[in-house]
Amino acid sequence: MSDQSRGAPQSGPSRWNTPDRPRSKNYAYLLRTLGFMRPYVRQLTYFFIALLVTSSATLSMGLGLKFLIDRGLSARDPALLNEGLAIVLAIVVAIAAGTYVRFYYISWVGERVVADIRKAVFSQILRLSPGFFETTKTGEILSRLTTDTSLLQTVVGSSLSIAIRNIFSLVGGVVMLLITNVKLASLVALVVPAVIVPIIWFGRRVRKLSRESQDRVADVGSYAEENLNAIRTVQAYVHEDIDRAFFNLNAERALSTAMRRILARAAMGGIVILLVFGAIAVVLWAGGRGVIAGEISPGDLSAFIFYAVTVAAAVGSVSEVMGDLQRAAGATERLVELLETQPDIAAPANPKPMPVPAQGSVVFDNVTFHYPSRPDTAALHGLNLTVSPGEHVALVGPSGAGKSTVFQLLLRFYDPQAGAIRIDGMDLREVDPRDARSRIAIVAQDPVIFAADAMENIRYGRPSASDAEVIAAAEAAAAMEFIRKLPEGMKSFLGERGLRLSGGQKQRIAIARAILRDPAVLLLDEATSALDAESERLVQTALEHLMIRRTTMVIAHRLATVVNADRIAVIDDGRLVATGRHDQLLISNPLYARLAALQFTADAGRQAVTADEAI
């Protein structure tokens, strides 16, 4: 977003406006959830039995009313009245018990199925390669994992049950209407369309506004999340007033949409009451004339009205639920799309085993690579590079030259379009990516610290490690020096993204994690470039301990940190332009000489400033 658009609220579209949630009339997508329901056939059987009991009992209530009125009240027989009351109460008890069982089991299945779907979706997300996330918004993926699955839970655990129950009531009610009185049933057939059509129209309007309201609330949450994640930057740039105004604008948009939804819903409620009870009044009037004429009994009229109300309520509920089912079908379509996405990087059908023990040799054989988001621009052109076991090789070059791409391909986050990459002689495309990655550890410029304690953050490198091994790794990384000073030592919570640690402390946690992993190949990506001199000294000491007897590849802009490398590879515009030691490249390669001159001049300037400050 440009400074202008980010700096003030805009009335037009912005990146905060998310597209409307999809809906689908292809209910076949909902059938895809049957695979997740299959393990719970027993609970679903209990649900359907309870559903049949409650639906049958509800429909028999009309017969109970008929018996109570015709045999009890009309005959003025207290015994028959008592018998009729007992029948009605028995039906009520059956409905209550069936409702309890029905609601419990369908809600249980809904929660269980959605938990299984969430686990399946998250497992699938972890399988997808970084190339997928390069072209797909993380927020969109999280929306599918949370919002779409929650919507599905509502449907499976509630709306679907309501729809099935009301379909039973609708069919049964129509049958009982015809059995009770064909003439009045014909009248109902004429009245029902006049009631249903406006309900359906208003229902669609309400659902559209509900969807829009959800989207506007999502805008509010998205904006708030980004600002909270960047709260230090927001406050450092005194941006609170602008962000507050933008948030308020999104909140007002959400309120405006919600008010239109409420107005439409209120109008629909009033019109539904008017039409439904107006239709019932017409039927009651026609039936009353039949009672006066002696054509039907008062009990038949009462039963007929009961069934008419049941049918009307069922039609209204089904039409209301249809919108939920459409949204659930759309949500399921999105989930199915994600579940069926094939990862770009996957193990071959018959992966070859990696040689044991690991040696740590690395070969880039004429590798050419384009990122998915930049298919017309090659990040690497015909790269040839061999790193022997235990060799320390530094990758040097201007920004954007392709140094980090080398690491991305070595970890097999992507596959090259041409050429091959080998670890210990094995083409990465012929082995399981997990086997190849298990031989590699990476320490990045901006290390990832999880919202856990120090022990678990270091143990991330090897989950099976004992506490003693974790502590030994922390000692080797010079991390125990500050960990001991934390309130609870190794059990101290490090904060979200390691907010309780300094940059150097984060790096030493990351180095301890790599030491614990005991990799054959170590990747260092600008591991000390963002540190102060004292932190850099501590981290560099830890790194030297880590690099012993390991194949090490280092990306560094600060050439002073790599002058002692066994070999320096100079990369420019995705091509390997020179290799050699520091002193050789100063003479033989103009690009390296220029980078060195710029770097060491800058370092000398910094050292002079530091000396002046010390004086």
- In the predicted model, what is the mean pLDDT of residues 468-482? 86
167-171, 270-274, 572-576: least confidently modelled range: 270-274
CATH architecture of 26-181+327-343: Up-down Bundle (1.20)
d(CA 485, CA 370): 47
pLDDT of residue 2: 40
Written as one string, the DSSP assignment of 51-84 is: HHHHHHHHHHHHHHHHHIIIIIITTT-HHHHHHH
pLDDT at 250 over 70: yes
Topology alike, domains 26-181+327-343 and 354-389+396-431+553-615 = no
Residues 6+ apart with CB under 8 A from 341: 124, 128, 132
**Three-state secondary-structure class, residue 548:** coil
Name the average pLDDT for the chain. 78
pLDDT of residue 535: 66
d(CA 543, CA 537): 10
Q: pLDDT category, 532, cuts 50, 70, 90? A: low
**Three-state secondary-structure class, residue 570:** strand
Domain-wise residue ranges, the chain: 26-181+327-343, 182-295, 354-389+396-431+553-615
Range among 187-196, 218-227, 383-392, 480-489 with highest mean pLDDT value: 383-392
CA nearest neighbour of 458 among 506, 423, 408: 506
pLDDT of residue 9: 40
Ramachandran region, residue 419 (left: φ > 0; alpha: ψ -120 to 50; beta: rest)? left
d(CA 445, CA 190): 74
pLDDT of residue 77: 65
- The predicted-structure confidence for 347-403, as pLDDT tens digits, reads as follows 888 889 999 888 889 999 999 998 877 878 888 998 999 999 989 999 988 888 888
CATH architecture of 354-389+396-431+553-615: 3-Layer(aba) Sandwich (3.40)
- The predicted-structure confidence for 18-76, as pLDDT tens digits, reads as follows 334 445 455 566 777 777 888 888 988 998 898 888 888 887 777 767 766 766 566 56
Phi/psi at 121 (5° precision): -65, -45
pLDDT of residue 8: 39
pLDDT of residue 15: 33
195-199, 263-267, 394-398, 508-512: least confidently modelled range: 195-199
Please, which residues bridge with residue 552 across strands? 392, 522
- The predicted-structure confidence for 154-184, as pLDDT tens digits, reads as follows 777 777 777 788 888 888 888 887 887 787 7
